[in-house]
Amino acid sequence: MSDHLAFLWRQLPNLLVGFPQQRPGGLVLSLVLAVLAVGVGFAVALPVGSGRLSPRRTVRGLALAYIELFRGLPLILLLLLVHQGLGGRRFGLDLSPRQSAFIALTLYTSAYQAEIVRAGLQAVPQPMLDSARLLGASTWQIFWRIQLRYALRVMWPAFVGQAISLFKDTSVLVVLGVGELMTTARAALGSDIRNAAYWVSLYLLVGLLYMVVALLASQAARRWEQRRTSTDLVHSLANA
């Protein structure tokens, strides 16, 4: 038991921030990659999700194809497709595993977020849009100032869920050896047969780390949501 704890204690800093003398990795890298991908993914999801509701058929079709494509593929496959396809010899981009991982995560999460954006935009009550139109607002004004503002409130919990889900999905990046938590766990065990006894305890710790971060994030989001909804005018209108 004590040798297990000693092993875990020795490896804990590696799991959290990566190995010394290497680039930062471990849990910190998992978090950074997930947050960046969700942020950039939102920028992609906004036009794609709005495109799903476009009056033009081709736009609707393209947006739907984008969503079905990147939601229909396993992330583990998307990673290799980006790394070998975009980063391969034929396409000519020389992507590092980290860059490929970031691109694949962004494509993956943007498809899920686009569906959230669509649902959020659809939740905006029609009378609100009609009144804005009657007051003389232009289409873009209505979109940015009314539809999106309202929809963001509706979308918020789903976005948090998607971000947490993507954070857990970063574990798949181990197939590219990106250096995030799962990769450091595998490297910590290495191929040393004497470490075989530590597999269970190390993966329990890794699971615990993922779980603690996910639970803390959802708790914090809920707390923030509760505090904000009590003072938010748009939200009280939405739930009236």
Partner 1 sequence: MFLQPAVVALLGKGLALTIALTVITSVLATCLGVLVGLGRLQGRRWLSVPAAVFVETFRNIPALVLVVFFAFALPNAFAPPLRRALFFDNPITHALAALTGLLAPWYLLGGALGLTLNTAAYIAELFRAGVGTVAREHVDAARSMGASWGVVYRKLLIPGGLHAAHPAITSRLIHNMKNTALLSFVSVPDFYGAVLTAISRSFQAIEFLLLAAAVYLVLSLGMSAGLQAAARKLFPTPRRPA
Report the residue number, 44 or 202, with the smaller CB distance to partner 1: 202
How many CB atoms are closer than 10 A to CB 75?
20
Which of 216, 102, 221 shows the shortest CA–CA distance to 155?
A: 221
Q: How far is the CB of 142 from partner 1 (least distance, A)?
A: 29
Check: CB of residue 215 under 8 Å from CB of residue 164: no
Least separation in angstroms between residue 81's CB and partner 1 is 5
Q: If we measure between CA atoms, which residue out of 162, 182, 158, 187 comes closest to residue 170?
A: 182
In terms of CB distance, is 41 or 147 closer to partner 1?
A: 41
Least distance from C-beta 167 to partner 1, angstroms?
A: 9
Outline where 21-147 has alpha helix (H).
26-51, 57-72, 75-80, 97-122, 126-134, 139-141
Q: How far is the CB of 83 from partner 1 (least distance, A)?
A: 9
| Cα 101 to Cα 33: distance, rounded to the nearest angstrom | 8
Q: Can you read off the two tokens belonging to residue 43?
A: 């920028």
Q: Which is nearer to partner 1, 1 or 233 (CB)?
A: 1
Nearest to partner 1 of 36, 204 (CB atom)? 204
- Provide, rounded to whole angstroms, the least separation between the CB of residue 158 and partner 1: 12
56 or 89, CB closer to partner 1?
Answer: 89
Alpha helices in 93-147 (DSSP H): 97-122, 126-134, 139-141
What is the smallest separation between the CB atom of 210 and partner 1, expressed in angstroms? 6
Q: Which residues bind partner 1 (CB under 8 A)?
A: 68-69, 71-77, 80-81, 84-85, 88, 90, 168-169, 171-172, 174-175, 182, 196-197, 199-200, 202-204, 206-207, 210-211, 214-215
The answer to whether the beta carbons of residues 38 and 162 sit under 8 Å apart is yes
Do 84 and 146 contact (CB within 8 A), yes or no?
Answer: no
Nearer to partner 1, 47 or 85 (CB): 85
